[in-house]
């Protein structure tokens, strides 16, 4: 029973990281129908920037902030330089272009930062928390992870709901034609979407790297888990991304805990296939589709 609680809590913590990646994928997918296969690579690269800042300044938070800022910049630059020129081309081209971006980032990371595994500091203590004498299976850092993603998600949700910029983004995502006819510069909105996605990816990167170590391919698995979470929730649904992330995180935590940590990727594959066969549009897209 205690084990179950531990797995649940740590699953929630990891799940929030998958949720962050899933959310970044959803942000880009809505309105552009493009799946950014480079999202993990972008997160990895910005985490490297973060750790360089930490080494040179000695301050974790300086690195944290720089990583997030780098995420915004990288997202914007990638969209303007690589993705926008690809608009209007067949879908296959766009997928391969994001793969090309992924490969480029991994190569650059190897060139600038080397290929060896680097450890990334955690913001807070990673020793397990206890309630009385029961180990909870999570640490202060895990709580920070969940809180950070939750707060960021809420800020985004509030921003989307209540600001004019948010309205522009939602309008462009739901119906780009009407949005443009209303005078909304949809191209700019898309770039902002990429910038926000870059931010979320960077956040996921710094939050997960203490557990996985940092190396050019370290975000590959996290990316596919994030993708799976997004598919579970529905690629169109930001709320779905978060819930999908939590569900996946918890499920994989149980699998890893009870069956051994080597099976998590295989279990995730199974979940992905099952979801795509039963409910390919995701859990939360039904509502939206019905409302037209």
Query: Which of these, 71, 53, 74, lies nearest to 63 by C-alpha position?
Result: 53
Nearer to other proteins, 61 or 112 (CB): 112
Among 124, 144, 174, 254, binds other proteins (CB under 8 A): 174
Listed as own residue / partner, the contacts of 120-127 with beta carbons closer than 8 Å and 24 or more positions apart are: 120/47, 120/50, 120/51, 120/206, 120/209, 120/210, 120/213, 120/214, 121/54, 121/60, 121/210, 122/210, 123/60, 123/61, 123/64, 126/210
Among 228, 244, 245, 284, binds other proteins (CB under 8 A): 228
Strand-strand pairing, 134-139 and 128-131: antiparallel
- For position 100 contacting other proteins by CB under 8 A, the verdict is yes
Among 22, 42, 53, 101, binds other proteins (CB under 8 A): 101
- For position 52 contacting other proteins by CB under 8 A, the verdict is no
Helical packing angle, 220-233 and 186-212, nearest 10°: 120
- For position 129 contacting other proteins by CB under 8 A, the verdict is no
Name which of residues 144 to 173 contact other proteins (CB under 8 A).
164, 167-168, 170-171
Phi, psi for residue 213 in degrees, rounded to 5: 65, 160
Name which of residues 198 to 217 contact other proteins (CB under 8 A).
216-217
Name residue, tokens 């529905």.
234
Q: How many residues does the chain have?
A: 292
Nearer to other proteins, 92 or 131 (CB): 92
Stretch that binds other proteins, among 7-15, 68-76, 103-111, 121-129 (CB under 8 A): 103-111
Name which of residues 236 to 275 contact other proteins (CB under 8 A).
260, 262-263, 265-266, 268-269, 272-273
Stretch that binds other proteins, among 8-16, 65-73, 93-101, 238-246 (CB under 8 A): 93-101
Q: Count how many Cα atoms sit within 13 Å of the Cα of residue 160 in the half-sphere of its side chain.
A: 19
Name which of residues 60 to 89 contact other proteins (CB under 8 A).
82, 85-86, 89
Shortest distance, position 125 Cβ to other proteins, whole Å: 30
Shortest distance, position 104 Cβ to other proteins, whole Å: 3
Alpha-carbon distance of 67 to 247, in angstroms, equals 27
- For position 186 contacting other proteins by CB under 8 A, the verdict is yes
Query: Which of these, 59, 241, 43, 282, lies nearest to 150 by C-alpha position?
Result: 241
Classified as helix, coil or strand, 134 is strand
Nearer to other proteins, 58 or 90 (CB): 90
Among 15, 106, 199, 244, binds other proteins (CB under 8 A): 106
């Amino acid at each position: 029973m205690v084990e179950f609680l531990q797995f649940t809590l740590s699953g929630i913590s990891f799940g929030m990281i998958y949720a962050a990646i899933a959310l970044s994928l959803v942000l880009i997918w809505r309105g552009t129908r493009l799946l950014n296969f480079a999202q993990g690579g972008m997160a990895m690269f910005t985490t490297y920037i973060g750790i360089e800042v930490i080494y040179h300044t000695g301050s974790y938070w300086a690195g944290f902030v720089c990583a997030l800022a780098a995420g915004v910049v990288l997202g914007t630059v990638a969209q303007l330089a690589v993705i926008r020129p690809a608009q209007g081309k067949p879908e296959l081209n766009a997928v391969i272009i994001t793969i090309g971006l992924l490969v480029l980032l991994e190569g650059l990371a190897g060139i600038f930062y080397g290929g060896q595994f680097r450890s990334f500091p955690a913001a807070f203590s990673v020793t397990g928390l206890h309630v009385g004498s029961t180990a909870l299976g999570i640490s202060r850092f895990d709580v920070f992870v969940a809180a950070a993603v939750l707060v960021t998600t809420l800020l985004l949700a509030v921003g989307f709901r209540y600001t004019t910029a948010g309205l522009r983004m939602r309008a462009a995502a739901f119906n780009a034609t009407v949005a443009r006819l209303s005078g909304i510069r949809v191209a700019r909105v898309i770039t902002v979407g990429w910038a926000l996605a870059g931010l979320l990816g960077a956040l996921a990167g710094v939050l997960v790297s203490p557990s996985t170590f940092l190396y050019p391919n370290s975000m590959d698995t996290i990316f596919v888990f994030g993708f799976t979470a997004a598919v579970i929730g529905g690629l169109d649904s930001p709320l779905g991304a978060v819930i999908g992330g939590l569900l996946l995180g918890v499920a994989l935590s149980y699998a890893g805990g009870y069956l051994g940590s080597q099976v998590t990727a295989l279990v995730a594959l199974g979940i992905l296939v099952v979801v795509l066969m039963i409910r390919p549009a995701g859990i939360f897209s039904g509502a939206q589709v019905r409302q037209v």
